[in-house]
Chains A and B, each alone.
Chain A
């Protein structure tokens, strides 16, 4: 029943939004900041990208606009957590609720509009898919082989020590939050411009939350994020093929599969991280804690 020639392209397309959003969030979390606003930044990116693509007829400009819009809304989160020292969990939730509302408000006029066609890249896959795959080694190299990457990880591992060494904790974190916002925006725009090809309210449908789970699954590494995104894409593609193949299971139950798979993966990985003797890299030491320099 599974046809590989359609299964693989669907897998690649379904995993790309999650890949972008989770890579961005992974980098943000490596600086010690937990931003639960991924879903909100994605939907804002989905709308901004779609609106720009429709207005200019250029999907490329759409993705640029999505990145800018995602980074822009993430700055509200940065202001709250980095300057006003607000709780990161609550601030991230607020960003998600606000983003969903904002996109619904300004998206009304785009309902029923069609996205401009995108040129396909090598192997018939969209060039943004290739860009996402390219981002994995680049981010890995940046984090593990460059000096700024080392500073970024240091800030996330122990912000007091990083501050003591003279590194600008707050500035590093704000830049990482903006990067996470831009990546989430691109991921969201991929859904509206390249997959669904139109705008519908709440169209990210939990992709941002799945991306957050993938970051945990990845153990905060770029290759791990790719594996997680492909796993998710595989489950989605399988589920869609079962639907199309007329499987004798209600559609509503089949469409639960990506969410249930995410929970399952999250549980298995969390248990491994909890019970394994040689804990690998694990979560950054300062994850979720605010930094306030008294001196």
Chain B
């Protein structure tokens, strides 16, 4: 008989080992899935995880790594703060979309003037838009006790409709020959978010993501608010007796993750995406949830996890081109990764013992 004995503290070794185990298990299960679907499993895994970095087309795909990782890391580092406190913002996708729309609105209002202050103003508008969209579930939870999980998620669908409305209505490019979608901000120098160092893929979003990781690390390990957040996650009642107000934390965590997601949306619309379209939301907000868990809600871990998940995006695209692998493969991979991670997490919280017959 096997029995599980709860550990008094999470095992440090397993904390590092479980994400690695989960990635390996995902690769093996994914390989089996590919074999069932009639693809060469070894070639498929190599195309997704190895070729983007070291293969023939790596000169093109390597810069893409930072482009894809930046929004994931930016969003995930905000989400992780809330997850630590047991506050579940799963609507980052919506905050990302609204942030992008608000930032683009500032640029489109100033068009075609060239101003030095335009891009900073757009970043502020993006952060503010995401913050406001995140504050809706926060306020509704604080005032009415409504589940922030369900409200933030519903608001994703609302945000997608707002994006569609903007693309077909108020933000439609007047010189776009009737096609839906806003003006392309990449062609508007003051508002664009270009590659800062040629060949690296690094735009302002990458800088912001690096700063966010650093700031979240300071917040969680050096600031009293970080202590309150960790305490509320581990022992909510004890934290309340110590004077931590849950309402304040709800507003702080949803506001913080909302504004970071909004900023990610702005960097995307001013850079890689270029314009607001009906399908502006590209799923970064949901993948960031996986990034946060894979990184064990720890800033450094999120950095690595964000790069890995960005790799699966690029590798997935490559496999689509070279092996005709369906696009949804990456989504399945990401879902499996989270399953394995949550499963293996048992080992950090429990000791597995053989029960001795009494």
Contact = CB atoms under 8 A, between A and B. Distances in A.
Given A84-B343, A101-B331, A206 B144 contact: no
Interface string A175-204: 000000000000000000000000001000
Interface stretch (A64-72, A140-148, A259-267): A259-267
Given A85-B346, A98-B332, A93 B90 contact: yes
Contact of A256 (B6, B145, B158, B350): B158
A270 B327 CA distance: 40
B27 interface: no
B350 A263 contact: no
Interface string A73-94: 0001001100011110111011
B179 interface: no
Contacts, number: 141
Contact of B144 (A79, A89, A267, A292): A267
Nearest to B278: A252
A108 B327 CA distance: 10
A277 interface: no
Contacts of B4: 85, 292
Given A98-B335, A101-B335, A105-B326, A263 B140 contact: yes
A210 B335 CA distance: 21
B328 A105 contact: yes
Given A85-B4, A108-B326, A97 B290 contact: yes
Interface string B329-346: 111111110110011011
B25 to A, nearest CB: 13
Q: Helix, strand, loop or mixed for chain B's interface?
A: helix
B20 interface: no
Contacts of A100: 331, 335
B147 A270 contact: yes
Contact of A94 (B143, B339, B350): B339
A95 B332 CA distance: 10
A201 B327 CA distance: 12
Interface string B140-181: 100111110111011111100110110011000000000000
B293 A90 contact: yes
Given A80-B339, A271-B143, A292-B6, A216 B150 contact: yes
B149 A89 contact: yes
B345 A86 contact: yes
Interface of B: 4, 6, 88, 90, 140, 143-147, 149-151, 153-158, 161-162, 164-165, 168-169, 286, 289-290, 293, 326-336, 338-339, 342-343, 345-346, 349-350
Interface of A: 36, 76, 79-80, 84-87, 89-91, 93-95, 97-102, 104-105, 108, 201, 205-206, 209-210, 212-213, 216, 250, 252-253, 255-256, 259-260, 262-263, 266-268, 270-271, 273-274, 292
24 contacts: A79-B343, A80-B343, A85-B346, A85-B350, A86-B343, A86-B345, A87-B342, A94-B338, A97-B338, A98-B336, A101-B328, A102-B332, A104-B326, A104-B327, A105-B331, A206-B154, A209-B153, A250-B165, A250-B169, A255-B161, A259-B161, A266-B147, A270-B146, A292-B6
